[in-house]
């Protein structure tokens, strides 16, 4: 099964004195790029959280945000005034830039919920709360993983449909191949005659050179390789898990063969078909960038 690197999950849990909100977002990346935003009281869990997501999601740009909504504010809680002011100024600036005039939000209610605005260095979380947060994050990682698996299935189905279009395009080339070689041969002979080289010409040698030249422009080998690469691509997609990079390598080989086919074609009709094949291949490569 192939897996996408795109996923999302939101979880909320009511604890004794707070509601914990967890947002997890995953995008494509060449490596495991992890970023987590935690309230101060959960900072000690950062490494454990990283380990959960590196194990479950393997690769991608992973953003995890945990926010606390206090039900009963601890008496020792302190508002970080400088951070509150910074959030307010940034949000107000965005409001002006976007010319938002028909909406006046409750700034205070919004900003106090933002990360680290309310800090409480004296509050210690117990083992039960730690375990609850870890379990929530493990559940979140699983949900994102399931999201990615479904997204990967959809992407692969789309990619395989486009691969079939490329294979079908090879069949569309057939009607033009014989006519292409005849036109090419006649064009060379006509150009040769225009140069008035009819006298003292070894026509046997000329025909040998002509056959050699036309054979160099034969596209049979490229067509066979394109079919072979398409077949191998399907086998890898069906049988090898997490093969995004390998599938991209195969797509690059397909690119080379299709480019060569187009360069050797020297026929308008075939080149039009090649352009359509390239278009489908580019879409495949764009999709593969999201495959794990």
Q: What are phi and psi of 99, to 5 degrees?
A: 55, 45
**Which pLDDT belongs to residue 95?**
81
Average pLDDT over residues 280-291: 95
Question: Contact, 273 vs 223, CB < 8 A?
Answer: no
In terms of average pLDDT, the best of 186-195, 200-209, 247-256 is 247-256
**Which pLDDT belongs to residue 236?**
95
Average pLDDT over residues 199-226: 71
Q: Which residue has the higher pLDDT, 101 or 137?
A: 137
- The answer to whether residue 156 scores a pLDDT higher than 80 is yes
Task: Record the pTM.
Answer: 0.73
Q: Which of 229, 261, 230 is nearest to 162 (CA)?
A: 230
**Which pLDDT belongs to residue 39?**
86
Task: Count other Cβ atoms within 10 Å, centred on residue 187.
Answer: 11
235-240: which pairs have CB atoms within 8 A and are 24 or more residues apart? 237/2, 237/156, 237/159, 237/160
Could you tell me the two tokens for 203? 């026509």
Per-residue pLDDT reduced to its tens digit, 245-274:
999 999 999 999 999 998 888 788 888 999
**Which pLDDT belongs to residue 78?**
76
Q: Which residue has the higher pLDDT, 195 or 29?
A: 29
The whole-angstrom separation of Cα 270 and Cα 259 is 12
Q: What are phi and psi of 63, to 5 degrees?
A: -115, 125
- The answer to whether residue 74 scores a pLDDT higher than 60 is yes
Q: Render 24-85 in DSSP notation, one character per residue.
A: EEEE--SSEEEEEE--GGGGGGHHHHHHHHHHHH-SEEEEEEEEEEESS--TT-EE-HHHHH
Domain ranges, ordered by start, for the chain = 78-119, 152-288
- The answer to whether residue 198 scores a pLDDT higher than 60 is no
- The answer to whether residue 18 scores a pLDDT higher than 80 is yes
């Amino acid at each position: 099964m192939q897996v996408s690197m795109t996923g999302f999950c939101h979880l909320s849990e009511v604890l004794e004195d707070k509601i914990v909100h967890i947002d997890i977002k995953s995008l494509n990346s060449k490596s495991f790029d992890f970023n987590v935003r935690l309230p101060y009281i959960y900072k000690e869990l950062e490494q454990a959280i990283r380990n959960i997501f590196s194990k479950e999601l393997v690769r991608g740009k992973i953003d995890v945000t945990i926010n606390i909504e206090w039900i009963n504010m601890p008496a020792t809680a302190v508002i970080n005034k400088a951070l509150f002011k910074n959030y307010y100024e940034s949000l107000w600036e965005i409001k002006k830039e976007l010319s938002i005039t028909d909406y006046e939000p409750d700034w205070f209610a919004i900003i106090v919920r933002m990360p680290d605005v309310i800090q409480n260095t004296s509050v210690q979380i117990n083992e039960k709360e730690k375990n609850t947060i870890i379990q929530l994050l493990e559940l979140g990682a699983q949900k994102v993983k399931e999201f990615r698996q479904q997204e990967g299935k959809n992407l692969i189905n789309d990619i395989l449909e486009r691969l079939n279009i490329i294979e079908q395009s090879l069949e569309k080339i057939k009607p033009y191949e014989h006519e292409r070689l005849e036109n090419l041969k006649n064009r060379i002979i006509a150009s040769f005659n225009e140069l008035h080289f009819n006298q003292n010409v070894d026509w046997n040698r000329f025909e040998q050179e002509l056959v050699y030249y036309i054979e160099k422009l034969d596209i049979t080998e490229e067509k066979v390789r394109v079919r072979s690469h398409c077949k191998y691509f399907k086998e890898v997609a069906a049988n090898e898990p997490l093969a995004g990079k390998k599938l991209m390598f195969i797509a690059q080989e397909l690119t080379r063969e299709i480019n060569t086919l187009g360069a050797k074609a020297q026929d308008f009709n075939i080149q039009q078909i090649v352009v359509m094949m390239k278009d489908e291949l580019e879409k495949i490569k764009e999709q593969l960038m999201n495959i794990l």
